[in-house]
Structure 1
Amino acid sequence: MKKTSKWLVLMIAIIMVASVVLAGCGGGTSTDGEKKDQTAGEQPAKEQVLRLNAKTEPPSLDPATTTDSTSGDILRELMEGLVRLDENSQVKQGSGMAESWEISEDGLKYTFHLKDAKWSNGDPVTAHDFEFAWKRVLNPETASDYAYQLYYLKNGEAYNAGKAKAEDVGVKALDDKTLEVTLEAPTPFFLQLTAFYTLFPVNQKVVEANKDWAAEAATYVSNGPFKLTKWEHDSEVVIEKNENYWNKDKVNLSKISWVMINDDNTEYQLFQNNELDIAQPPTELTKELIDKGEATSKPILGNYMFVFNVEKEPFTNKYVRQAFAAAIDRESLINNVTQGGQIPAYAFVPPGASPDMGVDFREKNGDFVKKPAEAKALLEKGMQELGLKTFPKVTLSYNTNDGNKKIAEAVQAMWKQNLGVDVELTNQEWKVYLKTLSAGDYQIGRYGWLADYMDPMTFMDMWVTDGGNNDTNWSNARYDELIKQAKSTGDQQVRLAAFQEAEQILMDEMPIIPVYFYTRVFMQHDNVKNVVRHADGSSDFTWVTIE
């Protein structure tokens, strides 16, 4: 996903920090996360309104350019792909725009049959909209950071690189209701990937008529459970039930609103005053609220990390990078600052990211990051290679958020204590910060990443040379070769071996500092039922009922 999910980066409901993780979200004291079917026509008597906090302005609600979890959580309610994941994060036929599909014996061709569905403006949703949307993402003129999510298509990467034509790409509408997809190689997680927002359709007629269609509520057209009715920038987003949605009778909410309050204590007060239905606790109250049962902590597939711009000294040297990674006392940080049950990260891929491989990848590949006692020697080796007598002051950047600030201050103190270096802190609003990272205008930056699907590839292909979400400027030919190898086969043993070696290279070169694996920490009022929270950190509010 998703910066929390770069954009990750990038917004997720990690405890306090909800920092938005690159590739965000969820809610409460009630741990009820099961989807319960509602009888058609059985609508609650009172208006059903869900009130949430996005913390910050969503950078983009266009599927082709969305890369962060703040935008992604809203977009998942507005748009719908070929499939929609169920309450167990599994693919189920008929759950999305596709009524059914067939897969060829060699795993290279998928034929999707679309159900009768409409856009919010009344236009029919067609296979042509999917073909147009996917090729639009791949079109180099779109400059989509997530174009690589469609490199699995035949000639997808070649088209994005200007080496093939649009008509050569392996997606074709055979008629209004039939979409044929041809892949470069068997891709075990492809069906799951079709639920990700980069692969959502867009209304071709609307997009071609107005390039800024996704910038304002008045021009936004969607095919999902809700439609965009208000977008007061930097203040509030409101979506309302889409009367044209094919499954509208199962949608109980009449409205969802997101305010944009980036202060944890204010958010907590709004929740206490019953002005928000789901919220994240302030950092300093996280442990207390979890212990009292007023907040819930659940592991999700994501990383809180720092990234280096490897083209800016002194972080051109891998031993310097290794030293900064080693000097962070992760257990102390979690026990004394975040306090949300996070797992210390001594490698990159989180536990639980390899459900189809027969082994847990994290357990299989082990730990790599050195401990604080080894940090000083690594720094001295790096300084010697760089010819430095004294270490220069460096800057750590982060997106504005109370939790991020507390973590940055704690890490700043650890680097001073364990390395003897001075680190300056600087922060920016989320949308601006993402641009700063993308431009490479930083030395060390806070980063977060949530899984886009359940496979190690969603983490590993981030760091290929010139990757859309690779803001480190790091490049390694062998790493690129291994990721390409893992993408060229459906053989899980071959993929596993490639991922293992690739992660070893990544952790030796250390263009990133894994800090901890995320948990989602949230508070939720007891009358809010049926929130679906996926293992990748995303939330689905489609089936929520307010009692």
Structure 2
Amino acid sequence: MMKNKKWLGFMFLAIFTLVLSGCNFSSSNKKEDEPKKEDNGKEGGEKVDQVLNLSEPSDIPTLDSTKAHDAIAFNVLNNVNEGLYRQNQDNDSVLALAEKHEMSDDEMVHTFTLKDTKWSNGDPVTAADFEYAWKRVMKDNGAYNYMIVTAGVKNAEAIMNGEMDAEELGIKATGDKTLEVTLESPNPLFKTLLAFATFLPQNQKFVEKLGDQYALEADNILANGPFKLVNWTQEQGWEMVKNEDYWDAENVKLEKVNVFVVKDPSSGINLYETGKIDRVKLTSALVDQYKEKEDFKNVKAAGTVFLRFNHNNPALKNVNLRKAVNMAIDREGLTDVILKDGSSPIYGVVAESFYFSPDKVDYRELNGDFNKGTPAEAKEYWEKALAEIGQKEVKVSLNIADTDEMKKVAEFLQAQLEDNLPGFKLEIKAVPFKQRLEIEKAIKYDLSLSTWGPDYRDPMTYLDMWVKGSSANRMDYYNPKLDALVTEARGETDLSKRYKLLLNIEKIFLEDDVAVAPLYQRGSSVLLNNKVKGLVDHPTGADTSYQWAYIEE
């Protein structure tokens, strides 16, 4: 049996290597038999191929910025497209396609002057491209239309509520290179939000020509950012090359970025060790084996993992049952024994260590833990819930993405809930990541194991997703008190008052309603090729920028 397993593993790796070769995806490692080239004008120096090879656990669902709603798509869009602002190496929002940003005295009218740039098909990028894309988000009820509401763009909320037409959104091109955006009120988050993918421009003629095929293949998307997407093989990977027409191309050192879809962690580590990829995320089983190596790195992230409850489910809509589920889970055991990747337990929806009050106090410290209890306390709430719903047992299913991390977490949750809540039965249903999202959007699940990557640097990115009608809600939760506080916080310019509102929103959501079960704040244990320099990981918005990365000699 052991010989057979080794032989099968060897064959899988060989087949995967052939797949990589077939995609013309090359490694950043220099082959010994390749001729030496001059390096940056240095006579006799060897020039290292500026090729970065990475992996993702799933394919891209769509690259339409008005519809994208996942970390993988946002990551690609961040590197092939660019908006008025983008995140820099310090994670600050800085001017990008806009060379100038002016505000009226009341800070409600913002005028942007664009740089002279062009799309990868040669068309100029114009102010009309921004007006078209933002209005399209609202017209098509895009996944992140609430981001435009959060930005405070005039009439956005009324449009989202069906009270006004998308054409009435407070954005208009006043010239080819001049864009005017009007807000409902001054908004301290506006500049920060503009670096997010929802605010990217789109070429109207190109989009409408392709119709429902837009952004589903490499040839069906235009680039205006540091890189161009030139190859996308479904469920295998994609390839980006340097965009020579990018306005800051002289500072982009990488010539190519290859990303492979690798769902199996053991395949990922094999590809890393054989030089096929330059970075790999380690599973808990591999952390101890590699943690002493020079290329091992542990990174705390701002992303969270939590359980969604379908609030229409006859059993799960019971608040005591949801509290029992929260208290029945040993989060420390999950992060320290099962994951072992730098993830940490969390008992709130806002992550720790990234969001601070005007007095520089961590949001998580200020609001503390919610629904933290013992198995005995969980059982008390469980028995109370069963009496209230008139049942002796509860059978539900758990919707998860078919990645190694999610499978391990789901199995742990299944054991915890069935052991600590007598009569609780949990069936695990693993599906591809894209399908997990579609099931959530349709609210055709009982429980769903969800992830959330913050969109911008403010607690609101974790809080306004729960308002009625938000595409991120995905569980039919609604509390008018929460919605009212979100609206109030969006318009509050006194930062201390605003922060108190943000704290109260989470209290309503978790203390009063126990609406979800937060599980852990993500961390990553990774191996990173020591030759890779300048790769920037962002705690919010898109995960990574390749713009400043390079391969060292």
**TM-score, normalised to structure 1's length?**
0.89
Distance 2:328 2:479 in 1: 25
- Do structure 1's residue 434 and structure 2's residue 432 form an aligned pair? no
Q: What is the aligned-residue RMSD (CA, Å)?
A: 1.9
- State which of 516, 519, 538 in structure 1 corresponds to 2:520: 516
* Gap runs ≥5 in structure 2: 1-39
Distance 1:331 1:92 in 2: 38
Look up the match of 1:90. 92
Look up the match of 2:483. 480
Matching of residues 54-93 of structure 1 within 5 Å = 54-93=56-95
Look up the match of 1:171. 171
Q: Is the 8 A contact 1:86 1:92 kept in 2?
A: yes
Matching of residues 438-453 of structure 1 within 5 Å = 438-453=441-456
Distance 1:41 1:459 in 2: 49
Q: What's the offset of the Cα at 1:247?
A: 0.9
Q: Is the 8 A contact 2:357 2:496 kept in 1?
A: no
Q: Is the 8 A contact 1:44 1:252 kept in 2?
A: no
Matching of residues 55-454 of structure 1 within 5 Å = 55-93=57-95, 96-139=96-139, 142-151=140-149, 152-211=152-211, 212-355=213-356, 357-358=358-359, 359-373=361-375, 374-388=377-391, 390-420=392-422, 421-454=424-457
Q: What's the offset of the Cα at 1:370?
A: 2.4
Aligned to 2:59, the other structure's residue is in SS state coil
Look up the match of 2:461. 458
Which structure would you say has the larger Rg? 2
Amino acid at match of 1:415: L
- CA 1:392–1:545 in structure 2 vs 1: closer, same or farther (change >3 Å)? same
- CA 1:291–1:513 in structure 2 vs 1: closer, same or farther (change >3 Å)? farther
Distance 1:236 1:349 in 2: 32
* Gap runs ≥5 in structure 1: 1-39
Larger RCO, structures 1/2 (Cα 8 Å, 6+ apart): 1
Aligned length: 504
Q: Is the 8 A contact 1:122 1:244 kept in 2?
A: no
Distance 1:343 1:41 in 2: 48
Distance 1:162 1:392 in 2: 38
Distance 2:472 2:525 in 1: 26
Distance 1:413 1:132 in 2: 50
- CA 1:326–1:199 in structure 2 vs 1: closer, same or farther (change >3 Å)? same
Amino acid at match of 1:529: K
Deviations 1:120-170, CA, capped at 9 Å, x for gaps: 11111111111111111111xx23111111112100122233322344211
Q: Is the 8 A contact 2:298 2:525 kept in 1?
A: yes
- Do structure 1's residue 545 and structure 2's residue 546 form an aligned pair? no
Aligned to 1:258, the other structure's residue is in SS state strand
Deviations 1:394-445, CA, capped at 9 Å, x for gaps: 2122100111111111111111222122212110011111111111111111
Deviations 1:441-477, CA, capped at 9 Å, x for gaps: 1111110101100001100001111211111111111
Divergent runs of 4+, >6 A: 40-44
Aligned to 1:259, the other structure's residue is in SS state strand
- CA 1:393–1:44 in structure 2 vs 1: closer, same or farther (change >3 Å)? farther
Amino acid at match of 2:104: S
- CA 1:173–1:283 in structure 2 vs 1: closer, same or farther (change >3 Å)? same
Deviations 1:220-244, CA, capped at 9 Å, x for gaps: 2111111111111111211111121
Aligned to 2:452, the other structure's residue is in SS state strand
- CA 1:371–1:266 in structure 2 vs 1: closer, same or farther (change >3 Å)? same
Amino acid at match of 2:76: I
Look up the match of 2:51. 49
Q: What's the offset of the Cα at 1:45?
A: 3.6
- CA 1:305–1:510 in structure 2 vs 1: closer, same or farther (change >3 Å)? same
- CA 1:192–1:41 in structure 2 vs 1: closer, same or farther (change >3 Å)? farther
- State which of 495, 500, 508 in structure 2 corresponds to 1:505: 508
Look up the match of 2:12. none
- CA 1:283–1:107 in structure 2 vs 1: closer, same or farther (change >3 Å)? same
Look up the match of 1:25. none
Deviations 1:10-42, CA, capped at 9 Å, x for gaps: xxxxxxxxxxxxxxxxxxxxxxxxxxxxxx999
Q: Is the 8 A contact 1:131 1:173 kept in 2?
A: yes
Query: Kindly, what percent of the aligned residue pairs are identical?
Result: 35
